[in-house]
Structure 1
């Protein structure tokens, strides 16, 4: 699928390692001047450890338990701590030129998710200053105010091109987040689009295909005026 200045590829459900390898292939192509690409995918259950994960200290079960549940663990290049991917979570890998505009790029990723969630009927979606990701209105849980996080964001930038991206909980099994301290945040509870529909008395269900369409459209709008150029190689010029 081609939209605006980048392609959108729907990978369906794909094991994490296969998608990681595919990311690297597209990254090499984009770093060489190829067309930017947004990959949309769901993964079987998997934990990934970012650069801040410190040997996975925020995994709260044993590796043996994870293996028995067929949940793999991967150490990856992205920023952040530990996160979970699984069925019902829409993962979007934006293989886009970034250059040195990393902070601006992260804000655009957040904005894309916020707009998509607005389309899906969650107008209170917002970034949370100081934390990467997208959140909904705080909620009291067992007498304590807890941030409600619906989307995690973590990227790596190599050769001025981004890898990794976002994980938006749509119909995700939220019990799997009990295996970890998500992103190392102890004051945060993970939520999903479907959970919010249920808690807010909205008598409807959400499907991944609806979230894919909303997110793809939001990316097109958000990145409409984006600078797609790659920095010139060192030593280039007159």
Structure 2
């Protein structure tokens, strides 16, 4: 697939933001979470480069600030048997699932410098998802009052949950490329009843190339947020991040 050309106007202050991109097939969830928690204090109140993490993780349920343990519909013993972790995290929203076959994008951005409110950041992430899906021939939309991206009124294909601490964003988006959708049956995803989760592979009726989707997502995020990117390794990021943690 050629480099995507987003038809969305940039959302930031009409200048380029130098951004280091960590793009990997897999990063353990706890490792990426710990890295974000170290990057935020490092970036706080300065003009250091922004960071974008693009990856997948092992199976994990993450509970946002408004989530309850009752949103998990099965006993902990079953989760352990299936190898699914449970983590309470800082992002907004309720409960969701991450795992293989799902693209995660974590923008660690100085949103104050970019002129982005939390709602505008979320809107931009939704726009990037919609553009990626369009590039793969999938029509999708927003639904007012329901963060994320939808196929029609009752099928959710992507979730968004961000946190902002002292002007720096972390956590981000999760796009279902080709995950095991049965794992969503074990939770009340995002607190809505009468919906079902779907994926790019399910909509298209065929397997989807995950690295291609990841590259496409990077291109649209670059366009929407005026990013001027360079590659970075996970190890470089961890060495740079320092020891202070949220």
- Shorter-chain TM-score range: 0.7 to 0.9
Alignment of structure 1 residues 89-238 onto 2, 5 Å: 89-99=102-112, 101-122=117-138, 124-138=139-153, 147-198=154-205, 204-224=206-226
Q: Is the 8 A contact 1:120 1:214 kept in 2?
A: no
Answer with 9-18 or 206-215: which moved more: 9-18
TM-score (norm 1): 0.83
> Which structure is higher in RCO with an 8 Å CA cutoff and minimum separation 6?
2
Alignment of structure 1 residues 10-21 onto 2, 5 Å: 10-21=23-34
Q: Is the 8 A contact 1:90 1:212 kept in 2?
A: yes
More strand by share: 1
More helix by share: 2
Which ranges of structure 2 fall in alignment gaps of 5 or more residues? 1-15, 228-246
Q: Displacement, 1:4? A: 6.0
**Structure-2 residue corresponding to 1:141:** none
Q: Is the 8 A contact 1:90 1:170 kept in 2?
A: yes
How many residues of Structure 1 are paired with residues of Structure 2 in the alignment? 209
Q: Please give the secondary structure, in 2, of the residue aligned with 1:57.
A: helix
Q: Is the 8 A contact 2:97 2:184 kept in 1?
A: yes
**Structure-1 residue corresponding to 2:230:** none
User: What are the Cα deviations for residues 140-160 of structure 1, in whole angstroms up to 9, with x where unaligned?
Assistant: xxxxxxx11100000111011
TM-score (norm 2): 0.81
User: What are the Cα deviations for residues 125-152 of structure 1, in whole angstroms up to 9, with x where unaligned?
Assistant: 11111011011124xxxxxxxx111000
Q: Please give the secondary structure, in 2, of the residue aligned with 1:132.
A: strand
1:62 aligns with 2:75: yes
Q: For the residues of structure 1 that align with 2:43 and 2:127, how far apart are their CA atoms?
A: 23
Structure 1 residue aligned with 2:51, among 27, 31, 37? 37
1:22 aligns with 2:35: yes
Q: Please give the secondary structure, in 1, of the residue aligned with 2:103.
A: strand
Answer with 93-102 or 82-91: which moved more: 93-102
Q: Is the 8 A contact 1:4 1:220 kept in 2?
A: no
Q: Is the 8 A contact 1:155 1:164 kept in 2?
A: yes
